[in-house]
Structure 1
Amino acid sequence: MRAALTVLALAAVAGAAVAQDRAELDRTQIIGNRELPKVLYIVPWKKPVPGELAGRPVESVLDEVLAPLDRDVFRRHVHYDAQVRARQAGAPATAP
C-alpha cells in the first residue's frame, strides 16, 4: 500500500513538472500587399564609356595564330629549331 501511494505521488509530481514546461508565445502576423509588382528593374546610373565596352578586340593573338604561313619561312623555323635542340642535346643536327 505504501508503494502504491509513493507511485501515485511521483506520478502527480511528474504531471505538474510537465505542465510547467509549457511556454506561451506571442503570435506574429505579417501582412503583405499583393498590388506591388514582382519585377525588379536595374538601371545603370552612369553611361558606359565606348572604350570600356566588352567585345572582340581589333587585333588579337588568335588572328596571329590563324594567319596563313609562308612555306619557306616555316621550313627555316623548323630547321633552326632542330639545330637549337641538337646543340642542347649535344648531338649533331640532322636536316629534315
Structure 2
Amino acid sequence: MKIDFSQTLNDLEGEPMYYMRDEEDASNHRMLTLGRFCGSVLNAPTKDHHSTAVERGEMALRVFAAGVIEIKPEEAALIRRIIKDAQPAVAVYQATQMLDPGGE
C-alpha cells in the first residue's frame, strides 16, 4: 500500500500543527507531517511487547522524512498500534486515518 508520509497534520482549527525540535529556537519548527509524527512516536520508548526497538527504529527512519512510499499492511498496522497512545489525540486520529486509506 502507498502512504504519503508528507501529509500535514492539522490542529482543531484546521491549521497545520508544528514539530518543534527546539522550543527555544523558532527557526527549527517544521510542519508536523504524518512521517514526522509517526517517526517520532516510533522512536520513543514504548511498552509494546509485540515489536522490537530494531523494528520500530527501522520504520522510524523510513517514514520520518518520507513522501509517498510503499509499506506493507502489517507495517501500517504496527505504526497504528504504536501511535494509538501518543498525544495529541487529534494527531493520533488523523494519522490513523491516513494510515488506513481504505478504511479497513
TM-score (norm 1): 0.22
Name the larger-Rg structure. 1
TM-score (norm 2): 0.21
Q: Which has the higher contact order (CA 8 A, sep 6+)?
A: 2
